[in-house]
Structure 1
Amino acid sequence: MELSGIGRTAIAANSGRSSQGSDTAGARAVSKAKLGARGLQLLSWLAPVAVVIIWEWLAQAGWLSPHVLPAPSKVIRTAFKLATTGTLLNDLGVSLLRAVSGFVIGTAVGATLGILVGFSRIAEAAIDRSVQMIRAIPFLAVLPLVIVWLGVGETQKIFLVALGVTFPIYINTVLGIRQVDPKLLELGRVQGLSSLQLIRRIILPGALPSILTGVRYALATAWLALVVAETIGAQSGIGFLAMDAREFLRTDVIVLTIVIYALIGVAADGIARFLERRLLAWHPNYGAAR
């Protein structure tokens, strides 16, 4: 049965309204998702902001001695003063350079060893036990020997950072490779993929979530190792700034360095989360929802 011109016009109009309604519903869903993500971001900052407000109130009310724990306003004034003189920015730049250098070296070593052990049982037998033994040694225990080997210069500090970064990257790389679903590997072989294609298309994407988790742990460990390294023989850096402030009982400077470490940790974790969203957009547990 043929439709008249009026019928066709009505159907087209209804279709247009339906499409418009669908677009509107989709826009509303996207808007709600954005509002939800922003709400979660604001909620994540609620506790730190509340702590700072309570801290300031207790300090202003006299419940906290300025020699024990100075008020946040005092710490901010100290940061501004050190920044204007250039001391803070110089020490921060030195520490960042050490941390980045050690992180790059440690990541390269940890990933290389992790890939070897992840793909080869022979490499695991030859390497893994030694790596685990070294990993169990605390930083403070190995520090005197590192000083004897490398002195107290930049090499010693970068080495300690690289040493701390290596192990989280190594362990999570091995774990990620070993946890790839064997059924996916079998499917790839059935599809005729070569060994290189299996690694590039199945194994590395499957191991990537675990590897990026190792990166997040390694970023935190890098700063922990740097704090230990900068307490011995340093003439610059955030750790040196804290140790120098301790000698003169400058608790405001000490608290400032702690706050800087916390903010750097938040920024580093944000970078890791950004990499997860970009590199794991295909993964149901990552992507835009995080």
Structure 2
Amino acid sequence: MTTTAAAPAVTTSAQEPPAPARGSARRRRRGLAPGKRLPASRLVGPTLVAVLWALASAAGQLDPGAIPAPWTVVATAGRLWGDGTLATDVLTSLERAGYGFTIGLTAGVVLALAAGLSRVGEALIDGTVQLNRAIPTLGLIPLFILWLGIGETFKIAIIAIVVYIPIYLNLHAALSGIDHRFVELAEVQGLSRVAFIRSIVIPGALPGFFVGLRLGVTGSWLSLVVLEQINATSGLGYMMFQAQNYGQTDVILVGLLIYGIFGLASDTAVRLVERRVLSWRRTLSS
């Protein structure tokens, strides 16, 4: 009887997978993820570029007339800020970018909602926006100058167009990509139009909206540097254009660095808001 009872116990233990095998498989699965987020990871690349730039300048590998040393650029920025010219130019550029971005953001969201939630709206809006996207926006500058004059209005209008296109495209694509089973579920539950938009449409479209928002923020700065060189009396682009006439490379680099800092800071702000709003998602970046 003792032998008969012991046999099934041995057989059962032999059928169980060894614990170390499960542990090693779990470790291998965990290794597929990118890992923990590094603190201030997006500053590593720019910091490395600045260090290499400083080392090359100190070693005499860069022509100071073409690429001044970082400390020269910083000293020039301090001098311009002390004179009050840099502060005025920065505030003017921020104002232009802010107005254009606000108008473009509003237009992109409204048009995307109208085209994404209605077949009639899509027929009226989407083709026009796609045509506008195919036309180089900066190529519209001569026409807008004739329509709106050569003052501030046409600059803000061009920035708004540059901003609204990526916001519209990404938000409209996100709305079109919502699974139709959610629509059927909302109909079965008897949700109203407002409740359907609030509970299903907005959460489903937010990821695409934030992608378009990041592209729109970057586009506002890219277009600003060109527009501020056209009949402007202030702004970072105007400052860089004047520096080009006098061969002041350090001033040009000051303007470029400020544009880069503004672009990185605004993109980081959007990503922080996105991470908080979409904290319910489980993605590789989170």
Give the TM-score band, short-chain normalised. 0.7 to 0.9
The residue number in structure 1 matching 2:185 is 187
Aligned-residue offset at 1:224? 1.3
Which stretch of the first structure deviates more once superposed, 126-135 or 218-227? 126-135
* 1:155 paired to 2:175: no
Which stretch of the first structure deviates more once superposed, 226-235 or 127-136? 127-136
| Aligned residue type for 1:167 | I
Q: What are the Cα deviations for residues 163-216 of structure 1, in whole angstroms up to 9, with x where unaligned? A: 111101111121111111212222222222112111111111110110111100
Aligned residue pair count = 252
Q: Is the 8 A contact 2:138 2:158 kept in 1?
A: no
Equivalent position SS for 1:234: coil
Q: Is the 8 A contact 2:175 2:204 kept in 1?
A: yes
Aligned-residue offset at 1:97? 0.7
- The two structures have a TM-score, normalised by structure 2, of 0.84
Residue number among 93, 101, 104 corresponding to 1:103 in the alignment: 101
The residue number in structure 1 matching 2:231 is 233
Give structure 1 stretches of 5+ with no counterpart: 1-34
Q: CA RMSD in A?
A: 1.6
The residue number in structure 1 matching 2:18 is none
Pick the structure with more helix per residue.
1
Q: What are the Cα deviations for residues 218-269 of structure 1, in whole angstroms up to 9, with x where unaligned? A: 0011111111211100111111111011011100011111111111111011
Equivalent position SS for 2:39: helix
Which structure 2 residues correspond to residues 42-57 of structure 1 after superposition, within 5 A?
42-57=40-55
The residue number in structure 1 matching 2:118 is 120
Overall identity of the aligned pairs, in %: 42
Partners of 1:44 and 1:199 in 2: how far apart?
Answer: 35
The residue number in structure 2 matching 1:214 is 212
Partners of 1:212 and 1:146 in 2: how far apart?
Answer: 29
* 1:165 paired to 2:163: yes
| Aligned residue type for 1:129 | G
Q: Is the 8 A contact 2:115 2:125 kept in 1?
A: yes
Q: Is the 8 A contact 1:118 1:174 kept in 2?
A: yes
Give structure 2 stretches of 5+ with no counterpart: 1-34
Aligned-residue offset at 1:69? 0.5
The residue number in structure 2 matching 1:16 is none
Q: Is the 8 A contact 2:137 2:161 kept in 1?
A: no
Partners of 1:41 and 1:145 in 2: how far apart?
Answer: 47
Q: Which contiguous aligned blocks of 4+ residues in structure 1 show a shift greater than 6 angstroms?
A: none
The residue number in structure 1 matching 2:262 is 264
The residue number in structure 2 matching 1:90 is 88
| Aligned residue type for 1:182 | H
Partners of 2:187 and 2:121 in 1: how far apart?
Answer: 24
Which stretch of the first structure deviates more once superposed, 137-146 or 104-113? 137-146
Which structure 2 residues correspond to residues 7-26 of structure 1 after superposition, within 5 A?
none
